[in-house]
A and B are shown apart, each in its own frame.
Chain A
């Protein structure tokens, strides 16, 4: 039976340079998926259906970073077709792991990796969606947290502001009762400068935060880097700590560059 579409907001999900993991977070909303389909018309979502409905779209979720000339053009078209554009995930909001190329000469990579470099058409950098078009909301994470995605969709449908904390991961740890791995084990942890929202994934497993959600508001990366040094991280390790999944986020990029 075809889902009723009349009057429902049209949702599109777009992919740029990415692993598809964030789009899958939407499909991973197993218990809530029928509610989502009941509330919106899935107009474009190749990961879920081959059916395509032409724009304009009420809300577009954009995954991935802009890494090719084709993508730099395509995002402009999508923006023009979208009333609300939400970038989702570390790639779309902070360049993703592929933004590591921003710190080196891309031509060197292309010649080292590909047998026929002449087939490769790529930009010198991988950049967040917001560097190319105005973005209405950025949803962080590698991958995004599905509860946050549902909160954003629910808020959009109700016409209210979504509840997305801007504070750091430390608050998430403390409120979950997670014991600080930095204080008890001397583990390197990006939690004090990292945006909350993942649902406190790593520290409960005795691992420091990897910074997947990118910088929190007002991150004091210099003070954290100094502490990481005291805990035994050398210059290169400090640089690499800030150069993970959100390396192109300005606060992390700048901090990593001071440890070159």
Chain B
């Protein structure tokens, strides 16, 4: 599912607005009935939550990320609104909530009265996201394919997704854990946005290049009186994004094929020694979609509820069938996650399941680096070919 594409016209696609107009943009989205979500600082991280205005955004905040470590820093000179990389939260927490009541039932005179709480709540959720990065747009597109594109459609996800307005942001900096460039998902925004911002200049010259991605995006922007962009603004934005791609981690190109043939590698056992099987990687991953449902009943048996919640292939219960868990060993569970994400996802959904955001690297409590592990498998495969 994509947002309605903007019809081709002679009107310009790129505009420039003063940085202080960001507040007006958030205000416009709020006044058109959106609950505006964006980045903000909480508990030592840039998280995603409700933003009432530009003052809520992490102005002047940057981050230092490495495997298993995340720290914020504040910049005094020419503070920018979006010079940090992705944090611990993902937009899936809004589109595909960790816990969602799907329906409830109350005993009636005859049978049960069923209420579709999930659909009702999703219908009320008119969201606007401010600050969605290129990798995150790719992740949302991946979840679209999984949750709306096939046989097992989530109606609540589809409803939320349809109503969501997306203001994307082009990255001008990367964290050391980012590897979007090698996954071809960033750092520049490609598709899936209503508006895309690139931060330019600083101080008095602090401004945004605003590019239009949809007709509804254009409508919102026109009300903000942005001026058509000059070629030098567009060039500056492109140069900044190109700069962000430098110095990133890299996922080896051959990872999908190499991993498909590495089922019996001794590396899985080596990783399992370090892996806590805590499932953090799957919970912070913007594409991981595994979920389960549980039914609850009231004490007096008069009511029942069905809840959907995030699950993870790292738990024993996930692969539990009659007689026990299929993936009893941590090695099997890490293998399932990594090979699905980087390899089998292609067969299932036509793309990689990894967008290169690097969250699984930063938020792994013991700092396991998926790119480094992939390189290990690639090295083994090369060795085998030579030998």
Contact = CB atoms under 8 A, between A and B. Distances in A.
B367 to A, nearest CB: 8
Interface in B257-302: 272-280, 283-284, 294-301
Nearest to A157: B299
B47 interface: yes
A49 interface: no
A32 B45 contact: no
Contacts of B283: 170-171, 174-175
Contact of B299 (A153, A171, A178): A153
Nearest to A184: B44
A7 interface: no
Contacts of A191: 278, 365
- Secondary structure of the A side of the interface? helix
A39 interface: yes
A175 B47 CA distance: 13
Nearest to B87: A179
Contacts of B309: 175
Contact of A179 (B47, B98, B315, B317): B47
Interface stretch (B51-59, B65-73, B119-127, B192-200): B65-73
Interface residues on A, range: 35 or more
B46 to A, nearest CB: 10
A189 B280 CA distance: 14
Given A175-B98, A175-B309, A218 B296 contact: no
Contacts of A219: 276
B153 interface: no
A190 B42 CA distance: 22
Contacts of B277: 168, 218, 220
B299 A179 contact: no
Interface in A197-229: 204, 206, 217-220, 222-224, 226-227
Interface in A164-201: 165-168, 170-171, 174-180, 182-186, 189, 191-193
B363 interface: yes
Contacts of B71: 184
Contact of A217 (B70, B316, B362): B316
Interface in A18-36: 32, 35-36
A221 B105 CA distance: 42
B275 A158 contact: no
Nearest to B89: A177
A175 B310 contact: yes
Contacts of A204: 43
A223 B274 contact: yes
Q: How large is the interface on B (under 10, 10 to 19, 20 to 34, 35 or more residues)?
A: 35 or more
B88 interface: yes
A29 to B, nearest CB: 10
A222 B316 CA distance: 19
A234 B56 CA distance: 40
B366 interface: yes
A150 B299 CA distance: 8
A219 B298 CA distance: 33
B301 A167 contact: no
Contacts of B317: 165-167, 217
Contacts of B363: 180, 183
A153 B314 CA distance: 29
Contact of B276 (A36, A160, A223): A223
Interface string A134-169: 000000000000000011011101101001011110
Interface of A: 32, 35-36, 38-39, 150-151, 153-155, 157-158, 160, 163, 165-168, 170-171, 174-180, 182-186, 189, 191-193, 204, 206, 217-220, 222-224, 226-227
Given A175-B99, A177-B93, 19 more contacts: A35-B299, A39-B300, A153-B299, A154-B298, A163-B294, A168-B277, A171-B280, A171-B283, A174-B88, A184-B43, A192-B280, A204-B43, A220-B273, A220-B276, A223-B273, A223-B274, A223-B275, A224-B365, A227-B366
7 contacts: A38-B299, A151-B296, A154-B299, A170-B365, A176-B98, A180-B365, A186-B69
